[in-house]
Amino acid sequence: MAMQPHSKKRVCYYYDSDIGNYYYGQGHPMKPHRIRMTHNLLLNYGLYRKMEIYRPHKATADEMTKFHSDDYIRFLRSIRPDNMTEYNKQMQRFNVGEDCPVFDGLYEFCQLSAGGSVAAAVKLNKQASEICINWGGGLHHAKKSEASGFCYVNDIVLGILELLKYHQRVLYIDIDVHHGDGVEEAFYTTDRVMTVSFHKYGEYFPGTGDLRDIGAGKGKYYAVNIPLRDGMDDESYESIFVPIISKVMETFQPSAVVLQCGADSLTGDRLGCFNLTVRGHGRCVELVKRFGLPFLLVGGGGYTIRNVSRCWTYETSVALGVEIANELPYNDYFEYFGPDFKLHISPSNMSNQNTPEYLEKIKNRLFENLRMLPHAPGVQVQAIPEDAVNDESEDEDKIDKDERLPQSEKDKRITGEGELSDSEDEGEGARRDNRSYRAPQRKRPRLDKDLAQHKDDANSEDTKDDVKSVSNMEEPKKDVPPNA
């Protein structure tokens, strides 16, 4: 996929002036105020006037239940600090209470953050913008029915679901210091969303994101995890980010990208342990932007708020393709940026535990995985027969819906890698389009654990069966011409 030069784009920016006033609680590191600080910097840097600024709607419960479970959203809607005691059991069930406290306006906060990402995704779908930014979003830990890691509603998943209406394949990149487990889990079994997360791994929240977690079922090889160690600096970050993302773009060929810009990977973060500067962090935005795909930028972690606002301000300028001065302009929160009052920060002298050899090995292992993708060059697409010959939908209709599915049918549904493969008649060019011209897939059946585990065996058998049926089908065809 061609890289495009650093260029000016239509940028839409989502912000609600209320967002800075939500307060997680005393001593809680998550401070929505950082979003307001960013906003004020943007105004005073003069970036504000170069973007379309939107106040997002408050996402409705309907919108949120596209991903989240109904009872979870109902719970979020009804819980308040003053009625907490009545919800003890549910609070435990939904993991609300400790890391994810109940605070005043919790639901509204979720609505605003989700509303921004959904509106941004719709905007991209309508091709009314090339880059959308929602620093209030990026809450990547939230699960389907569970809050986690300061995140309640997963605006990213909601945004991606929106993008999937118009995009066959969506790429999600996560440069938060924490693993993007919520998003990964949500799309763990689909091949339409690839999640790529760069994160600190080992004795670190949320504990997931092992190199070997690669997705399941149809989504196998569609989750990419880059486990890193303390002290990642700009140079080593780029050395792993560039090759991985280029390879992902080449093999996955997404038609839209979502980048979670968690700023806790910056040096000196209260919870983070990387050593990135604003420049190194922003470099990732720049690199992704160069691919010229519809691009959604969301916030995320970031707990040293002066650096978070520096970072997101800089990244907004990168998205806009505008250079901004290192001197911070005066603003309401100017004193926060002392003693130097500069935009850029310098790395600390902490040691980088990620040796080049380590990164190289990780990279090679991930390349091996990416090679398993059906698009990847070098994988023999011919080995897998065309599915057009084998009309599955017919058999399926005959099966009584109330009956348990026969194993053969189950096997068919699990088929993973092969399914996305292009058949020969579909040209290279087809992929460029946002829309895929394949008939819309029927709703994918739910995979549960057992099925996923049987997948490998099932797959191989499945392929064999297909081969047989193909030859059966073809023989009569060959016979036809002589008769005619």
What residues from 127 to 146 belong to the interface with other proteins (CB under 8 A)?
128, 143-145
Q: Measure the CA–CA gap between 61 and 63, rounded to whole angstroms.
A: 5
Segment interacting with other proteins (CB under 8 A) among 282-290, 408-416, 439-447, 462-470: 439-447
In the region spanning residues 202 to 261, those forming contacts with other proteins, defined by CB under 8 A, are 202-203, 206-208, 210-213, 216-217, 223, 227, 229-230
In the region spanning residues 144 to 173, those forming contacts with other proteins, defined by CB under 8 A, are 144-145, 157, 161-162, 164-168
Of 164, 163, 130, residue with least CA distance to 293? 130
Closer by beta carbon to other proteins, 132 or else 287: 132
Residue 176 marked ligand-binding: yes
Place of tokens 């389907």: 144
Query: What x-and-dash track marks residues 26-45 binding other proteins by CB under 8 A?
Result: xx-----x--x---x--xx-
Burial class (CB in 10 A: 0-12, 13-18, 19+), 22: buried
In the region spanning residues 68 to 97, those forming contacts with other proteins, defined by CB under 8 A, are 69, 81
Q: Measure the CA–CA gap between 308 and 306, rounded to whole angstroms.
A: 5
Q: Measure the CA–CA gap between 62 and 68, rounded to whole angstroms.
A: 10
Closest contact distance (angstroms) between CB of 40 and other proteins is 5
Residue 178 marked ligand-binding: yes
Closer by beta carbon to other proteins, 49 or else 404: 49
Closest contact distance (angstroms) between CB of 57 and other proteins is 5
Segment interacting with other proteins (CB under 8 A) among 19-27, 88-96, 243-251, 379-387: 19-27
- Binding to other proteins by residue 432, rule CB under 8 A? no
Residue at 194: amino acid letter: M
Total number of residues shown for the chain: 484
Residue 422 marked ligand-binding: no
CA 308 to mean position of chain CA atoms: 20
CA distances from 82 to 25, 76, 85, 87, 330 (A): 14, 14, 8, 11, 39
Of 252, 189, 192, 180, residue with least CA distance to 216? 189
Closer by beta carbon to other proteins, 208 or else 283: 208
CA distances from 173 to 49, 73, 201, 343, 411 (A): 28, 26, 16, 25, 31
Query: What x-and-dash track marks residues 303-342 binding other proteins by CB under 8 A?
Result: ---------------------------xxxxxxx------
**Do 271 and 265 contact (CB within 8 A), yes or no?**
no
Structure tokens at 155: 């605006």
Closest contact distance (angstroms) between CB of 438 and other proteins is 8
What are phi and psi for residue 413, nearest 5 degrees? Answer: -75, -15
Closest contact distance (angstroms) between CB of 134 and other proteins is 10
Interface pick for other proteins out of 87, 188, 222, 314 (rule CB under 8 A):
188
Residue 180 marked ligand-binding: no
Closer by beta carbon to other proteins, 187 or else 252: 187
User: Under 8 Å CB-to-CB from 11, ≥6 apart: which residues?
Assistant: 50, 51, 52, 129, 130, 131, 132, 133, 316, 319, 320
Closer by beta carbon to other proteins, 146 or else 234: 146
- Binding to other proteins by residue 298, rule CB under 8 A? no
Of 328, 227, 206, 214, residue with least CA distance to 274? 227
Closer by beta carbon to other proteins, 25 or else 406: 25
**Radius of gyration over alpha carbons of the chain, in Å?**
24
**Do 390 and 255 contact (CB within 8 A), yes or no?**
no
In the region spanning residues 357 to 396, those forming contacts with other proteins, defined by CB under 8 A, are 357-358, 361-362, 364-365
Q: Measure the CA–CA gap between 92 and 81, rounded to whole angstroms.
A: 15
Residues designated catalytic: 141
Interface pick for other proteins out of 171, 296, 370, 452 (rule CB under 8 A):
452
- Binding to other proteins by residue 18, rule CB under 8 A? yes
Residue 149 marked ligand-binding: yes
Closest contact distance (angstroms) between CB of 165 and other proteins is 5
- Binding to other proteins by residue 21, rule CB under 8 A? yes
Annotated binding site: 99, 149, 176, 178, 264, 303
Binding residues for a divalent metal cation: 176, 178, 264
